[in-house]
Amino acid sequence: MSIVHRPYGSTPLNRLYEEAKLPQVIRRSLSLILLGNLFGNLHGIICGGGTTAMIGLANQLQAGDFAFGLLNGIPQAAALLQIPFSLLVNRTHKRKKYLLTFGMFSRFLWLLFGFIPLVVPQEPAGLALWTLIFLLGISSCCSSAINVCWFPWLSDLAPISIRGRWFSIRDSVVAACNLVFGLVVARLLDTLPIESRYIIIFLIGGTVGMLDMLCFAFCEEVYSAPPQRMHFAGIVKDILHNKPFLRLVIMWTAWCFSANLCGPYLARYSVNEMGLTFTQMMVFSTAASSIATILVISRWGKALDHYGCRSVMLVAAAANSFIDLFYLFSTPGNVVPVLLRNFVGAMCWSGTNLAANSMQLSASPDEARPSYIAVFACVTSLVGTTLGTLTGGLLLEGWQSAGWFTGAFDRFKVLILVAFCCRLAVAAFLVPPLQNDREGTPKQLIQSVLNGLAHFNLFRKA
């Protein structure tokens, strides 16, 4: 029996590394970051405001629409702390230290979430729910150090010429693992005894989250600019004069607001109003979106490198605006709207997210990138995601109290229409150009997509 030795550059990642002529230590670090991102995404399947696990736990603790919106919004509001963390990272160049210290503690706290219904007394009413909110707040504050450390870290390791394809390879791997892991989690949620269900699930979620942080312990720390003491007022002044970055912040903030008006509530609507099981939700949401991401993400990466960030963002965001409309046809027990929304939606939002990541890196200067990314995350998370989520929750509770929209066309469907109009307006009017973007136009990208669809090969020219 002979052993066939494959060439060193036979895998997609290694071919990228060979193209960029990266040294071995950088290749290993980029691969470890990819592995950490994988564990981080598996952590996110369980641990997050809108996950099926959190929906079940929130229902058990009798959370209303606004309280559920608060659970979704707290992690985003905690992004405010990214600004002081970014100033600290710029001054000290200790990404690894802060990532491992604060990130590990943040992920450790998730190990405790499942014990809340058993440990916290039933009286006074709401104590268990507010305990959950408190722990989530502490975890979210500590996790603010993660984004301002790993994202600039990646930027200093990966040349811009391969970032789009690196992100697409990462997202393909993550989507494939999410598919399997999500099904396992859903099955556990449906079959485990209620008294131990959330203990086991959140122990798993906290553990994979800590593995995410551990991967960065073995990464090479690289900085493209020397340490410097920066002041928040000076950073804001620079950002206000950086028109491409400022326009990107405005666009993505408006996009996050419109997307989160109804997005976080659709999974809960599917479980509570449509009566779907956790397994059905995982199959027709997480699994469906993972499969769709695997099918298109590499093509979005190639399109990004060929047509540029703005073209990809325009096309993907415009298509993304329509995906929640599938829920207008939802009925109890009907999984088709959930399947279509998540399968078609993943094809679109994988493009918008990929473009947003690349646009952040392209529009922020090397010497102040952690601070720029912190301000970006802070504004888009707080004003966009958090305010959008809480606004959606207030509208839903307000309409319910007023007795409005109680028929087949219920309050959730009205909110979907409002969010659709907002998203379409953002896609049409707010996507900014970048000075170093590619020459490809949105019209050329659309034509490529149409030609590819005609031959069952999306983005054929990309």
The residue extents of the domains of the chain are 23-223+231-454
Whether the Cβ atoms of residue 110 and residue 202 lie closer than 8 Å to each other = yes
Report for 280-294, 334-348, 370-384: range of highest mean pLDDT: 334-348
The pLDDT tens digits of the residues spanning 335-368 come to 899 899 989 888 888 888 888 888 887 777 777 7
pTM strictly above 0.85: no
Confidence of residue 438 (pLDDT cuts 50, 70, 90): low
- Kindly indicate the confidence band of residue 71, based on its pLDDT and cuts at 50, 70 and 90: confident
CA angle 427, 433, 438 (to 5 degrees): 115
The reported pLDDT for the residue numbered 198 is: 92
Please give the pLDDT value at position 440. 64
Contacts of 5 (CB under 8 A, 6+ apart): none
Give the integer Cα–Cα distance in Å for 54 and 49. 6
Shortest CA distance to 413 belongs to which of 329, 343, 322, 332? 329
* Closest among 72, 395, 385, 69 to 258, alpha carbons compared: 385
At 4, the pLDDT band (50, 70, 90 cuts) reads: very low
Q: Which residue has the tokens 């603790």?
A: 61
Contact 94, 203 (CB under 8 A): no
DSSP per-residue letters across 280-296:
HHIIIIIIHHHHHHHHH
Give the pLDDT of residue 182.
84
Bigger pLDDT: 50 or 5?
50
Question: Residue range 120-134: average pLDDT?
Answer: 84
- CA dist., res. 245 & res. 242, Å (int): 6
Residues of the chain above pLDDT 70, percent: 91
Give the residue among 185, 332, 355 at the shortest CA–CA distance from 269.
332
212: pLDDT strictly greater than 90: yes
CB burial class (10 A; 0-12, 13-18, 19+) of residue 212? buried
**CATH class belonging to 23-223+231-454:** mainly alpha
| pLDDT attached to residue 443 | 72
409 exposure class (CB count in 10 Å sphere: 0-12, 13-18, 19+): exposed
The answer to whether the Cα torsion of 204, 167, 349, 75 is positive or negative is positive
Q: Mean pLDDT, to the nearest integer, of 421-447? A: 75
